[in-house]
Structures are given as C-alpha cells and as structure tokens.
Amino acid sequence: MKVNLVDCMSNNKKLLEQTWRWYGPDDPVSLDDVKQAGATGIVTALHHIPHGAPWPLEDILERKRIIEDAGLRWTVVESVPVHEEIKTWGPLANQYIENYRTTLGNLSKCGITTVCYNFMPVLDWTRTRLDLPMPNGARALYYDKVDLAVFDLFILCRAGAEFDHTPELLAKAEQRWEGLSEEEKIDLERTILMGIPGEENIGLEALRASIDVYKAVGKEGLKTHLFKFLDAIADVCEEGEIKMTVHPDDPPFPILGLPRIISTLEDLQELITKEPRVFNGICFCTGSLGAGPQNDLPKIFEQVGHRVYFAHLRNVKRDESGSFYEADHLDGDVNMYRVMSSIVTENQRRDQPIPFRPDHGHQMLDDLNKTTNPGYSAIGRLRGLAELRGLELGILGA
Ligand code: DNO
C-alpha cells in the first residue's frame, strides 16, 4: 500500500500553502523548476505594467493561464505597487487610487484575492552588497551600515546626512570612502538604487527630489496617507473579498532621511487598530522585521497573527552595529522554530491555508555560475523551502 508521508505525518492537520515568487515569463527560474522545488502556489505580479497603471483583465487572465497550464495556482499578487503620488498624496493621488481600485476589481474577477503591497517611500528593499561570501562558499545579500552612510554622505550627498549618523559611523564612512575604487563606488550606487527585477532603477537626482518631498510629508503624514489609501480601497476589497497584506519596511529603520511606518510591533498594531476591517492584513516578513533588534518575531506574531494572510520566511544575522546579512532560513537571529510553531497553530484556525514563500536564498552550487535575480536564485530557495517544509511537518508531528 502506498503511504503518503505528508498526510500521515500531518495527522489530518492543515498544512500551510507552499508558494514561490516568480518574476514572470522572463524569470530564469521556470515554472517547471518551481514544481520540482515542491511549491504549489505562485506569487507574482505584472511587472511589465508601469507603476500606477491599471492592470487589464486580459493581462491578468493570460498570466493566470500560463501558471495554471503549468499545474500551479496564482496564490498571491506581489506586489500591486502603490504609486508615489498616493504615498505622498500628490495632486494625482485620486487618479492613481482609481487605477488601483480597477486593478483590485480585475484581480478579484479572476479569483486572485491576496495582494501584497508596501508603503516604503521611494525605495523598496535596500541592500549594500549582493554577493557577500559565506564561509561555505555560497553568497548572500548584505546591508552594511557603513556602506549605506558612504552612499548617503559621499554619493547622494544628501543635505543634513551628517546629522543622521553617529560620529563613529561618520569616521568609518569617511575612511571607507577614501579606500574605494571608482568601480566599487559605482557598484555601491547601483546596488542601493536597484529596483526589483524587470523594473527601472531610480536615479540620484530623482531620489534627492523625493527625499525633499518626504521631508515635508514626515512620518505622521505618511501614516495618514496609508490610512486614506486603505479607506479608499476598502469597499472594492470587501466586495471582491480581497485581502491586502502590507510588507514591512526593509530594513525596519529610517534610511536616507526617509520616514518609516511599518517597522515594529507598535506600527503593526496601529495599522490593524486604526483600520480594523478584515481586508486590512499583514505580510509577515521575518527577514525584514528580523533586521530590527527591537523586534521579537514570535511575540509580534502572537499579537497580530490573526491578521497575517501571507508570510515571507527568511532569516538574518545582525552584528552589534546594526548591519546584517541574510542567513540560512533556519539559522540567524530569527527563531524560525518558534515562528513556524505560531504560524502552524494559527493555520489550524483558518478555512484557507496561510501561504508562505521561502523568501530569498543564498546563491549557491550551480547558481554561482549563473546570472540570477538577487535573492531569487533557484537552489538557495529550494533548500529554504525544503527546510521550512520539514520544520512544519516536524512541528505538526506524526
Ligand atoms: C524583496 C521583497 C520586496 C516585496 C515588496 C512588497 O525581496 O520582499 O520587494 O516584494 O516590498 O511590496
């Protein structure tokens, strides 16, 4: 008799949905690769559509067809980007909100109802190095506070930057800047300004201009805009049964003088208290939150887990200065066993399984010789997914 180990071990308990971020038909990691890795759900977005433009129904249906033809399911949209006009509440905010509502309505018509977005000003996630060698030869993404200060002070030349770094950091940054070659300077600039694959990088001039705009908006202003945005899409979400999941700030502290509003337990509590409607949820990204020394991940999940509709599971290792690199999924400062235990418990209360994806992975083995999307090569994520799946089954018990 054939015994299905997963059914047998999970003891009829509910399993999380294993998903995988796929950047679309141009992603060097194919849908067949995803199936071999063992994921069943796809997390993707229509990256060819410019930020802020509405997503046509036909384009969504076409992407859905490609995914389903491969025997997979489009589980989460990551992301429908929130246009800067909305974040800063510029003169075109209402127009972009209308477009956003159209996109959400179209997604719902196609049965795709979990949507990830972020409210980070200008830059999405930020790293200073994409190939930090690990002792085992793999390569990891790295955020070095000194390099960030070098960029801020000497490349961006942001007015007032010197007041945002400690004297110790200023001294280290100056010393490092003097030792950098021209090529290293260009590389640092490119890494920090890098957008997500398939999307355009921002230029230094545009970044400076945005920083000025956000200076006027401030932290409270940005929060107000987030709640106005949520209020303006609430009816479409409720009618279309859309669940919105905000991605935490990465890293979860202010950089380059830009405000941050989704970095801590308090931020997340405020988010779901001030907008308590059920559509307003969280993407629990353990790597982003985990980079903040103030964040106790199992405790955060305990408090806001009922509003987590999507999880990004990865790990980080911080040093005492606040710099961090992306560690193996079960290694690092995030206690993944405790986090997974809480998610698994919460999942038993749900009608729909909580989707998670192995977030990022080391560039390793054969991928070291390939051009891959930073953080999104196949083998490191395959390893992460295998480890996380084993952890889940181990927690569920035989
Ligand atoms: C990085 C990702 C982020 C995330 C967005 C969500 O690897 O986790 O780019 O997709 O912030 O809007």
HEC string of the chain?
A: CCCCHHHHHHCCCCCCEEEEECCCCCCCCCHHHHHHHCCCEEEECCCCCCCCCCCCHHHHHHHHHHHHHCCCEEEEEECCCCCHHHHCCCCCHHHHHHHHHHHHHHHHHCCCCEEEEECCCCCCCCCCEEEEECCCCCEEEEECHHHHHHHHHHHCCCCCHHHHCCHHHHHHHHHHHHHCCHHHHHHHHHHHHCCCCCCCCCCHHHHHHHHHHHHHHHHHHHHHHHHHHHHHHHHHHHHHCCEEEEECCCCCCCCCCCCCCCCCHHHHHHHHHHCCCCCEEEEEEHHHHHCCCCCCHHHHHHHHHHHEEEEEECEEEECCCCCEEEECCCCCCCCHHHHHHHHHHHHHCCCCCCEEEECCCCECHHHHHCCCCCCCCHHHHHHHHHHHHHHHHHHHCC
225 catalytic? Reply is no
| pLDDT attached to residue 11 | 67
pLDDT tens digits along 135-154:
999 999 999 999 999 999 99
| pLDDT attached to residue 6 | 61
Report the nearest atom of ligand 1 relative to the CA of 285. Answer: 8
248 lines ligand 1 (CB under 6 A): no
Report the nearest atom of ligand 1 relative to the CA of 120. Answer: 11
The active-site residue out of 144, 360, 362, 367 is 360
The CB density around residue 64, as the number of other CB atoms within 10 Å, is: 18
Q: 388 alpha carbon to ligand 1 midpoint, in Å?
A: 20
Report the nearest atom of ligand 1 relative to the CA of 247. Answer: 6
The active-site residue out of 285, 309, 328, 367 is 285
| pLDDT attached to residue 159 | 95
* Over residues 171-178, mean pLDDT: 98
What whole-number percentage of the chain has pLDDT above 70? Answer: 97
| pLDDT attached to residue 394 | 96
| pLDDT attached to residue 131 | 96
| pLDDT attached to residue 156 | 98
Query: Angle at Cα 139 formed by Cα 133 and Cα 140, nearest 5°?
Result: 100
pLDDT tens digits along 202-231:
999 999 999 999 999 999 999 999 999 999
362 catalytic? Reply is no
Confidence of residue 196 (pLDDT cuts 50, 70, 90): confident
Confidence of residue 5 (pLDDT cuts 50, 70, 90): low
312 catalytic? Reply is yes
| pLDDT attached to residue 9 | 56
pLDDT tens digits along 257-268:
999 999 999 999
Q: 246 alpha carbon to ligand 1 midpoint, in Å?
A: 10
Q: Is the pTM for the entire model greater than 0.85?
A: yes
326 lines ligand 1 (CB under 6 A): no
The active-site residue out of 312, 325, 328, 367 is 312
pLDDT tens digits along 233-253:
999 999 999 999 999 999 999
165 catalytic? Reply is no
